[in-house]
Chain A
Amino acid sequence: MAMIDDEETLLAFVEESKEHMDGIETDLLAIEEDGADIDSELVNKVFRAVHSIKGGAGFLGLDNVKEVAHAGENLLNMVRNGEMVPTPELITVLLEAFDLLNSMLNSPATSNDVDISEQISALKNALKPALSQEEKSTPTNEIGLGTPDAPNLFTLDSLDVALSFKGGNNLYILVYDLIEDIEKKDKTPLEVVTELQQTGNIVDSKVDIEAVGKLEDDPGERRVPFYVLFATIMEGDILGTFIGLDDSCIHLISPESLTQPQTGEPIPVKEEATPTSVETTPPEPAVSISAPPAKAVAKDIAEKKKSAPVKSMARDSSLRVNVKILDNLMTLAGELVLTRNQLVQAVSSQNKQGIDTVSQRLNMVTSELQESIMSTRMQPIGNIFNKFKRVVRDLSKSLSKEINLIIEGEEVELDKTIIEAIGDPLTHLVRNSVDHGIEQPETRVVNGKDAHGLLRLSAYHEGGQVIIAIKDDGAGINTEKLKEKVLSQNLMEQSQIDAMSTKELARLIFMPGLSTAAEVTDVSGRGVGMDVVNTNLTELGGIIDIDTAMGKGTTITIKLPLTLAIIPSQIITCGKERFAIPQVNLVELVRIPAAQVKERIEKIGSALVMRLRGELLPLIRLTDALGIERVYIDSLTLEEKPDRRTQIEDRRGIHREWDEKPIQENEENSEPAEERRQSSERRTNPISAYNIVVLSAGDFHYGLIVDRLLDSEEIVVKPLGGHLRDCKAYAGATIQGDGRIAMILDVVGLSKLMNLTTVAEKVRNQLQEQEQKKKGGEDSQTLLIVRNAEDEQMAIPLGLVSRIEKISSNDIEITGGRKNIQYRGGSLPLFNVDEVANVGMRDEEAESCYVVVFPIAGKEVGIMMSEIVDILDTNEKVDDITHRQPGILGSMIIFDKITLLVDLYGVVTTVMPEWAGIAAHSSTEEAGGANILVVEDSKFFMNQITDFVSDVGYTPFQAEDGVEALRVLEEETIHLVLTDIEMPNMDGLELTRQIRADERWAGLPVIAVTSVAGEAAEQRGQEAGVDEYLIKLDREQILSKLNEYLGG
C-alpha cells in the first residue's frame, strides 16, 4: 500500500505509537522478572499496545512497522495464553524488535525501506518452540465456520480459531455484497477493508467468485458476495452500525458452538482507554526492582548483538499536561483580566486605595500564575529512571555481571528542560557504575560481598533542590590509580596531588582528558565522559559530589535546582551595589557584634575563619572577591567612608575616624539591651559589627562578609552575556523593582575564585584532628565558657549550673561586707573568682554582668562573670597542676586559649569556710567509714572525687576501669560504687550490668557519675541498672546521694 499522505494523521499516529512504546520496555522487563509467574494483565497491556500500532501502521501503509508489530503480537499472544514462558531470550528478542520499531517510528518516511528481516526471523524463530509443542501435544484439528446459508465458508486450524478469540474478541462472519452494501452506500471496497482492519482482525475472507457470474450476465444485476471472518472486541449491535452493515448480515460465532474445546480461559474484555493528548499517565509505584536475568544467556546475547546503541534522550517538542492544570491556568488568566480591569479603573480615577488593593491582588495572581505555569513543565524523574532498567540490564549482561537496580523517588518532579538535560550525564554515570564500579560476581564473592551488585538510583527533595543519588556497592574509585594516571599524563604536579584529601582526589575524575580504563571499551572509558558530565551539570546550576571508599563502593550525589528561571534569593549590599544570593545556597545569616569579633574571627595561615557553634568556617570578604572598595556608613553623618581597617580581627585599625568621637548618651540609651557594651568597647562604632552570610558550595560551607542584609526576594534570572562568561563570581543578573540591576552571585564560583577549597580542607583537617583527639582522649565534658577579666577565659561545668542571669551593676547591694542581689524573693550571695584565686580582675565598673547561679549547702549562690562566650562539648585534657589553686581546679586549652576551670564550690567555701562545714556536716556523722569504690579512668577526676569522698569520712577505693573494679569488688567489701561511664576495657554500663548479674552484689548501690548531661545517656544508665546518674564535679549532689544510700 502506498503511504497515506496525510501529514497530520501520520504525526498523530507516530506520537501515539511512541507513547505506547514508551511503556513497553519497562513492562517487558517487568514481565521478564515475573518469569513463569505471568502477569496476564501486564502482558495484555503490551499486547494491546503493539496491536494498536499494528493497526494504525496498516492503515497508514507503514508496512514494515506493521509486520514487525504483527510478529511481535503473535509472540505476545503466545505468552498471554500461557503457551510460552517469557524467558530472557524471548524478552531480548522482543526488546530488540521493538527497538527497531521505535527507530522506524522515528522516521516513518523511510521505515518501509528498512531491513527488518533479521528481527522478523528472530521473532518467528522464537515462536517455533511453542508451535511445534502445540503440534505435538494437540492433534491439529480443522474447524469449519460458516453461516446458516453457507456452512463451510472457512476452514481453519483450531489453533488459529482459538487465537482469534484471544483478547476478548468476538468472532463474526460478515456477509457483504460489494455492490449492494458498499457501492450503493457510496463506499469503496478499499475503505471498507481498511475500516475493518482498524477495528479488528480479518482472520480470513472470501469472495464468492462463482456467484459473480460472467461478463455476459447483466452488469446491472451483478452481485459480488464477500465474506469476512472478522474478530473484534466490538459487540454485535454496535458493529453493525459502525461498519454500516445490516444486522442480518452479521453472524456471531460463539466459542461454544465449535466442536473443539478451547485452550485456556477467555480473557475478560478490558476497557481500552485511548489516551487523549491531555491526560497524564498515573504515577508509578515508588520503588521497583528488576532482578538480574540468568547468567547463562549472557554469552549468546552478547555475541548475537552488541549492547543496545546508546540512545541519546530525545528532546520532544510536545508535552503532556494534566487537564486540571490547564483549567487552573484558565481560571488564573481570568483573574488576571479582572485585575487588569480594576487597575485601569483605579489608575484613571487616581484612587490610591484602589491601586493598593489591585497591587495586592496582582501580586497574588501573578504568583499563582507563575506556579501553575511552572508546574506544567514539571515532569516526574521516573521517566528517565525507568529507561535505566534497560541500560543496566543490557550492559550487565554484556559484561557478565549481576546487578540489582533499585529505583527510588520516581515521582519526584523536575522541570522538563532539566530532565532532558540530565539524561545523558546520568546515563554516563550509571554506565560507569556498572562498568567500572561493580565487580564481577566471582571477584565480589572472593571479597566477601554478595555476588549480586547493588545499584541504587534515588531522587528526593531537600532544601529547595532536587537531589539525585547514584550509589553502588562496587569497588569504589581507585584513588591510587587516579593519582598515577594524572601524574603520568602530566595533568598535575606531585606536590599538588600530595596536598589533596581523599575527596579531592576522587574529584580528579572530572579532569578533562583523563581515563583510567585499561583500554577504551565501547562501553565507557573514552576519557571524555566525566568532565562533560560535570560541565553539563554545572551549566544547569547543579552540583556534583562524589563519596567513595575503596572496596566498598561509590556514591555520586547531584544537586539540581528545581527550576531555572525564577529563584528565591537574598538581596545584600556590598559597597554601593546590590547583589542577590540564591536561596538554595544560603545556609544561615550570622551577625557578629563588635564585641565578639575578636574571638569569633581568627586566622589560620593567611585565611580568615569564623567560629560557628564549635566549627570553623572559612570567610571571604565580598569586597575582596569582587574588588570593590570597602566602605562603612558613618552613623553620625550617614556618609559612606572608605574603611581602611586592614584586619578584621584587630579592632584597632590604622585610621579610625570614629575613635575620637565619644558616643553620645542618647544614642547609647536608645539601643536595645544587648547592644549595651562594656566600657572597654566604647571606642567601637556599632556599625563595625559584621554581617556574615553562610553559604553552601557543594560539599562545604563558607561565610561571606557583606555590608547589609536586605529583603529576600523572588527574582527572575537573566543569563549573563557571552562577554561575561569568564566571570566566575556571577551566575547571572536580575532587574530589581526599581529598575536597577543586581548581579547574582555564583556561590561555588566565588569559593573557587578565592581558593577556598584549600582553606576548607585545612579547616576540615583541623576538625578531624580534634575528632581524633576526642576519640583517643578523655571523657567529653559540657562546659560553659565565660570571661572574668577581659582577656581571661574560664570554664564552668555546665551540669553544675542552675541558671545564668544578667544583672545590672546598680542592683548589687552590699550587706555585711558581702555583695548580694535581690533574687526571686530572696537574697543571692554573689562571689567573684578573683576574690579567691590569683586571676585577673573583673571590671567592676561595668554596667552589667552575668551571674552563674548554682546550689551549695542547700542555698543558691551566684558567681559573677563579665561575659558568656559559648557552650562547648570537649574532651580536652585537664591540666590539674599548672594553674591549680583554691577556686581553680585546673586548666585546659579551649578555643586556642588557656582556660581556667572554675571550682565553684571552692570559690564559695574559701570565702565562707563555714559553709563547707554545713555541707559536709550531715554526711560526716553517718559516714562511719563506709567503703566506696570509685571507678574512673581520668586521673584528674579520680583525684577530685576521691578527695571529697574522703573529706567527709568515707574510705575510697580506686579502680581504673570496669575490669579492675570487679577485681576490687572480689577482694574488698564495698558498700557503694561510684563509677564513670566512658572507660577503656569495660565501661561503666557494662560494669553495672555485671554487678547486677552477680548475686553477691545485686543490691549494691551503683551511682554513675558523668561529665555529660543527657536524657539518652541517663536512659541507658537506668537500663543497665544504675541507681543514680550524677554530674562529676557536682560535689553537693554526690555527697548527698552518698548520704542517702549509705546513711540512716
Chain B
Amino acid sequence: MSYIERKDGIIVIKPGVDIIASQCSSLQDELQQLINDGEKKIILDLQDTRMIDSSGIGLLIASRNSLLDSGGNEIELINTSDEIRGLFTAMRLDHHFTITS
C-alpha cells in the first residue's frame, strides 16, 4: 500500500518500494483511483524507490497518458535516486515527466 497524502492541495503518492512488475498491480489501482477522483496533478514521491523496471516504466507512462487524457497536466517525480534520474534522462523520459530530486 502506498502512502498517500495531500500537500498544498496536491496529492502526493509514495509507493515506498521498488516499482517492479510484482508491485505494479496494486500501484496501478491506486493511480487509477486518483485519476478517477479527478486529480489534475500527481506528485510521485520516489523516496525508497531504488528501482523501476520495464513494467514500472510502462505503468508510469500509461498513468501519464491517462492523466493527460482526463484533463490533467503532469506527473511530477520527486526524491528520485540518481540511478532513476539517469535512466529517465537516457531514455528522454524527462521530457514527459517533471523530475525533481
Residues of chain A touching chain B, judged by Cβ–Cβ distance below 8 Å, are 1-2, 61, 178-179, 182-183, 188-190, 193, 197, 202, 204-207, 209-210, 212-217, 219, 222-224, 226
CB pair B32 A215 closer than 8 Å:
yes
Other-chain residue from A207, A216, A223 in contact with B92 (beta carbon distance below 8 A):
A207
* Contact yes or no, A183 B91, CB < 8 A: no
A360 to B64, CA, bound (A): 85
Contacts of A224 in B (CB 8 A): 54, 57-58, 61
B69 within 8 A of A: yes
Residue numbers in B under 8 Å from A219 (CB-CB)? 24-25, 28, 55, 58-59, 62
CB pair B55 A183 closer than 8 Å: yes
A217 to B59 CA separation, bound complex (whole angstroms) = 10
- Once the chains bind, are A222 and B58 in contact (CB under 8 Å)? yes
Residue pair B85, A1 in contact (C-beta under 8 Å):
yes
Q: Does B13 contact A (CB under 8 A)?
A: no
**Given A1-B83, A179-B58, A189-B53, A212–B65 Cβ distance below 8 Å?**
yes
CB contacts (< 8 Å) of B25 on chain A: these are 219
The contact sample of 30 A-B pairs, CB cut-off 8 A, is A1-B83, A1-B86, A2-B82, A61-B82, A178-B54, A179-B54, A179-B55, A183-B54, A183-B55, A188-B51, A188-B53, A189-B52, A189-B54, A189-B87, A193-B87, A193-B91, A207-B61, A207-B93, A209-B96, A210-B65, A214-B62, A215-B32, A215-B59, A215-B63, A215-B65, A219-B58, A219-B59, A222-B59, A222-B62, A226-B91
Contact with A along B49-88 (1 / 0, CB 8 A): 0011111011101111110010000000000011101110
Q: A2-B83, A202-B90 are in contact. List 4 more A-B contacts (CB 8 A).
A: A1-B85, A189-B87, A210-B65, A224-B61
A202 to B87, CA, bound (A): 12
Closest beta carbon of chain B to A1043's beta carbon, Å: 107
B83 touches A189 (CB 8 A): no
| Cα distance A206–B89 in the bound complex, in angstroms | 10
Contact between B54 and A213, CB atoms less than 8 A apart: no
Q: What are the residues of chain B within 8 A of A197 when measuring CB–CB?
A: 90
Contact A209 B65 (CB under 8 A): yes
B12 at the interface (CB under 8 A from A): no
Contact: B62 with A212, CB < 8 Å?
yes
Asked if B28 and A215 make an inter-chain contact with CB atoms under 8 angstroms apart, the answer reads yes
Could you say which residues of chain B place their CB within 8 Å of the CB of A210?
A: 65
Q: In the bound complex, what is the Cα–Cα distance between A206 and B91 (angstroms)?
A: 6
Q: Do the beta carbons of A214 and B65 come within 8 Å of each other?
A: yes
Least CB separation from B83: chain A residue: A1
Q: Could you tell me if B51 and A190 are in contact, using CB atoms closer than 8 angstroms? A: yes
Tell whether, in the assembled complex, residue A205 and residue B54 are in contact, meaning their CB atoms are under 8 Å apart.
Answer: no
Q: Which residues of chain A are within 8 angstroms of B64 by Cβ–Cβ distance?
A: 209
Choose among A207, A214, A215 the residue with the greatest number of B CB atoms under 10 Å from its CB. A215
Q: How far is the CB of B40 from chain A (nearest CB, A)?
A: 16
CB distance from B74 to the nearest CB of A (A): 12
C-alpha gap A61/B83 in the complex (Å): 9
Distance, CA A219 to CA B21, complexed state (A):
10
Q: Are A209 and B21 in contact (CB under 8 A)?
A: no
Please pick, from A202, A206, A217, the residue contacting B62 in the complex, using a CB distance under 8 A.
Answer: A217
Whether A188 pairs with B90 at a CB distance below 8 angstroms is no
**Distance of A879 from chain B, by nearest CB (Å):** 99
CB pair B61 A183 closer than 8 Å: no
Task: Please give the distance in Å from A305's CB to the nearest CB on chain B.
Answer: 32
With most chain A CB atoms within 10 A of its CB, the pick from B21, B31, B81, B87 is B87
Compute how far the CA of A224 lies from the CA of B52 in the bound complex, rounded to whole angstroms: 14
Structural contact, B21 and A183, CB atoms closer than 8 A: yes
Shortest A156–chain B CB gap in Å is 13
Contacts of A214 in B (CB 8 A): 62, 65-66, 69
Please give me the residue from chain A that is nearest to B24 by CB atom.
A219
State whether A215 touches B66 (Cβ < 8 A): yes
B35 located at the interface, meaning its Cβ lies under 8 Å from any Cβ of chain A in the complex = yes
Chain A residues near B28 (CB-CB < 8 A):
215, 219
Interface secondary structure of A, over-half rule: mixed
Residues of the A chain whose Cβ atoms lie less than 8 Å from the Cβ of B66: 214-216
Which 10 pairs, one residue from A and one from B, show the smallest C-beta to C-beta distance? A183-B54, A178-B54, A1-B86, A212-B61, A1-B82, A215-B66, A214-B66, A2-B82, A224-B58, A222-B58
Nearest chain B CB to A991 CB, angstrom units: 92
Q: How far is the CA of A223 from the CA of B59 in the complex (A)?
A: 10
Residues of B near A202 (CB, < 8 A) are 90
Chain B residue at smallest Cβ distance from A213: B62
**Interface contact tally, CB-CB below 8 A:** 92
A2 closest partner in B (C-beta): B82
Distance between A292 CB and nearest chain B CB, rounded to angstroms: 45
Whether the Cβ atoms of B57 and A190 lie closer than 8 Å is no
Which residue of chain B lies nearest to A222 when distances are taken between CB atoms in the complex?
A: B58
Interface residues of B in 14-50 (CB under 8 A from A): 21, 24-25, 28, 31-32, 35
Q: Closest CB-CB distance, A58 to chain B, in whole Å?
A: 9
Tell me the complex Cα distance, A202–B55, Å. 22
A197 vs B90: C-alpha distance in the bound complex, in angstroms? Answer: 9
From residue A222, how far is it (CB to closest CB) to chain B in Å?
A: 5
Q: How far is the CA of A204 from the CA of B35 in the complex (A)?
A: 32
Alpha-carbon gap, A205 to B92, bound state (A): 6
Residues from chain A with a CB closer than 8 A to the CB of B58 are: 178-179, 212, 219, 222-224
A-side contacts of B57, CB under 8 Å: 178, 189, 207, 224
- B91 surroundings in chain A (CB, below 8 A): 189, 193, 205, 207, 226
User: What chain A residues lie within 8 Å of B83 (beta carbons)?
Assistant: 1-2, 190
For B92, list chain A residues within 8 Å (CB).
204-207
**Complex CA–CA separation, A224 to B60 (angstroms):** 11
CB distance from A217 to the nearest CB of B (A): 7
Which residue on chain B has the smallest CB distance to residue A216? B66
Which B residues touch A179, using CB under 8 A?
Answer: 54-55, 58
Which chain A residues lie closer than 8 Å to B54 at the CB level? 178-179, 182-183, 188-189, 224
In the assembled complex, the Cα of A976 lies from the Cα of B16 at a distance in Å of 120
Bound state CA distance, A195 and B57, in angstroms? Answer: 18
Please give, as numbers and ranges, the residues of chain B lying within 8 Å of A204 by CB-CB distance: 92
Whole-angstrom CA separation of A222 from B63 in the bound complex: 12
**How near does chain B come to A164, taking the closest CB pair, in angstroms?**
16
A359 vs B91: C-alpha distance in the bound complex, in angstroms? 71
Determine whether the beta carbon of B61 is less than 8 Å from that of A193.
no
Q: How far is the CB of B41 from chain A (nearest CB, A)?
A: 16
Note all chain B residues with C-beta closer than 8 A to A222: 55, 58-59, 62
Which of B21, B51, B62, B87 touches A215 (beta carbons < 8 Å)? B62
Give every chain B residue within 8 A of A2 (Cβ-Cβ).
Answer: 81-83
- Distance in angstroms from B58 CB to nearest chain A CB is 4
Within 8 Å CB of B53, what residues of A?
Answer: 183, 188-189
Which residues of A lie under 8 Å from residue B61 when comparing CB positions? 207, 209, 212, 224
Chain B min CB distance to A959 (Å) = 99
Tell me the smallest distance from the CB of A734 to a CB of chain B, in Å: 60
For B51, B83, B90, which residue has the most chain A Cβ atoms within 10 angstroms? B90
**In the assembled complex, which residues on chain A have CB atoms less than 8 Å from the CB atom of B87?**
189-190, 193
Q: Tell me whether A215 and B31 are in contact (CB under 8 A).
A: yes
Which of A189, A210, A223 neighbours the largest number of chain B CB atoms within 10 Å of its CB?
A189
**Closest partner residue, chain B, to A176 (CB atom):** B54
Give complex CA distance A162, B82 in Å: 31
Minimum CB–CB distance for B27 against chain A, Å: 10
Min CB gap A510→B, angstroms: 55
Least Cβ distance of B56 to chain A in Å? 9
Complexed CA–CA distance, A167 and B83 (Å): 29
Residue of A nearest to B64 (CB): A209
Q: In the complex, what distance in Å separates the CA atom of A188 from the CA atom of B87?
A: 10
Q: Which residue of B lies closest to A58 (CB)?
A: B86
Q: How far is the CA of A339 from the CA of B47 in the complex (A)?
A: 67
A204 nearest CB across to chain B (Å): 7
Chain A residue at minimal CB-CB distance from B70: A214
How long is the Cα–Cα vector from A214 to B59 in the complex, in angstroms? 8
In-complex Cβ contact of B65 among A61, A182, A189, A213 (8 A): A213
Residue among A178, A197, A214 with max Cβ neighbours from chain B (10 Å): A214
CA distance A212 to B56 in the complex (A): 12
Q: How far is the CB of B32 from chain A (nearest CB, A)?
A: 5
Contact residues in A for B69 (Cβ distance below 8 Å): 214
| In contact, B90 and A205 (Cβ under 8 angstroms) | yes
